[in-house]
Amino acid sequence: MNNPIPSKTGFKSGFITITGAPNAGKSTLLNHLLGEKISITSKKPQTTRNRILGVVHRPMSQLIFLDTPGVHRPRDPLGTRMVDEAIAAINDGDVVLMIVDVSKPLPDEEAFLIRQIKSVHKPVVLALNKIDLIEKNQILVFIKRWSEAYSFEAIIPISAKHGIQMDDLLSRMETLLPEGPPFFPEETLTDAPERFITAEMIREKVFRLTGQEVPYSTAVTIDQFSEEKNGELIRIHATIHVERDSQKGIIIGKSGSKLKKIGEDARKDIERMLGTKVFLKLFVRIQKNWSKDTRALRKFGYS
């Protein structure tokens, strides 16, 4: 990639892989650091399915974060693909940022992550997230426990939701990056296309507004994305794909009420992102067992 900005003396830039168990707060952290929502979030695990790139610009550094799917025990080809993506990203970064949710018991996934981190020989910073949910005296207990598990470059207690110790975290990450010119222009927040983020925002609303296993059986594709009225209106047609008739009924809801709510909530987020009016029309289609179908995974962008 050509360097779009002249480098300052002592300027640092590099890639930081965010990794952790599902629901550790990786996407919430990235969105807070960017000041913009590019990575979707929900209380359900495994919301993030793709690697999402976000760029934080500082006076003497450019920190390029890679948000990754949560590491978990996969149940199907989609889950396997997500875990493979997360592990591959650990190898791709200059620095690893491991996120731990201190409000929950330590899951098996975190022991697995430690084994992966030990194998790549890269600097690792541990962020103890959600400290707002525990007593202050417990923080020292977590720091001691994790310092015995691995020799981290730093262990920093944070709250991604409330922005606690974000500057301390960024400053520590900055010291670990290699010197070099920026990779992206100053106005760049992500390399993800608008169509991709749009599909993700719709999928987020499915995660937030439906229960049980329905969200994990959905994928979203963008069928139309066009400007009208000299860019004052964006017309978007999107399809929510599900695996069974019963799931389609749940997403549509009584008299279409659930689908209408999904569309309304998604449209508001998309309008904020695009900075213009949006007409959003949603469809629901059945593609049986797509999460176990290699061809369907490729079609939906999960190859």
**Mapped to the 3 state alphabet, what secondary structure does 9-75 carry?**
CCCEEEEEEEEECCCCCHHHHHHHHHCCCCCCCCCCCCCCCCCEEEEEEECCEEEEEEECCCCCCCC
Minimal CA–CA distance to 64: which of 24, 28, 21, 12?
A: 12
Residues with Cβ within 8 Å of 257's Cβ and at least 6 positions away in sequence, in order, are none
Mean per-residue pLDDT, 277-288: 96
Phi, psi of 219 (to 5 degrees): -135, 155
Secondary structure E strands in the chain: 12-20, 52-58, 61-67, 95-101, 124-129, 154-157, 219-228, 233-242, 277-286
Show the tokens assigned to 244.
């069974």
Q: Residue 78 — pLDDT band, cuts 50, 70, 90?
A: confident
Q: CB–CB of 201/40 below 8 Å? A: yes
Euclidean distance between CA atoms 102 and 129, whole angstroms:
6
- Confidence band of 294 (pLDDT split at 50, 70, 90): confident
Mean pLDDT for 259-275 is 96
What pLDDT score does 1 carry? 44
> Is residue 193 very low, low, confident or very high in pLDDT (cuts 50, 70, 90)?
very high
pLDDT-based confidence at residue 5 (cuts at 50, 70, 90): low
d(CA 131, CA 67): 21
Average pLDDT on 62-77 reads 85
State phi, psi for 273 to the nearest 5 degrees: -65, -45
In this prediction, residue 196 carries a pLDDT of 93
| pLDDT band, very low/low/confident/very high, at 105 (cuts 50, 70, 90) | confident
pLDDT at 234: 96
Closest CA to 16 of 87, 67, 82, 86: 67
Q: C-alpha 186: how far from its chain's center?
A: 21
pLDDT confidence tier of residue 300, bands split at 50, 70 and 90 = confident
More confident residue, 268 or 2: 268
Residue with the larger pLDDT of the pair 42 and 58: 58
* Res 214 pLDDT > 90: no
Q: What would the mean pLDDT of 222-236 be, rounded to a whole number?
A: 93
Q: What is residue 210's three-state secondary structure?
A: coil
For 100, the token pair is: 């731990």
Assess contact for 218 and 251: CB atoms under 8 A: yes
Residue that has been written with the tokens 């409330």 in this structure: 162
Buried b (16+ CB within 10 A) or exposed e, 237-257: ebbbbbbeeebbebbbeeeee
pLDDT score, position 303:
65
| Residue 258 three-state SS | helix
- Which listed CATH number (3.90.110.10, 3.40.50.300, 3.40.50.720, 3.30.1330.10) goes with 12-176? 3.40.50.300
Percent of the chain predicted with pLDDT > 90: 66
Q: Which pair of structure tokens corresponds to residue 231? A: 């860019």
**6 has a pLDDT exceeding 60:** no
**pLDDT bucket at 2, cuts 50 / 70 / 90:** very low
Across the chain, what does the average pLDDT equal?
A: 90
CATH topology of domain 194-299: GMP Synthetase; Chain A, domain 3 (3.30.300)
Residue type, 5: I
What's the confidence (pLDDT) of residue 34?
Answer: 94
Cα distance between residue 224 and residue 236, in whole Å: 5
Predicted structure pTM score: 0.86
As a whole number, mean pLDDT of residues 182-203 equals 94
Q: Where are the domains of the chain?
A: 12-176, 194-299
pLDDT in tens, 34-52: 998 888 887 777 788 788 9
Report d(CA 146, CA 129) in Å as an integer. 13
- Mean pLDDT across the stretch 271-283? 95
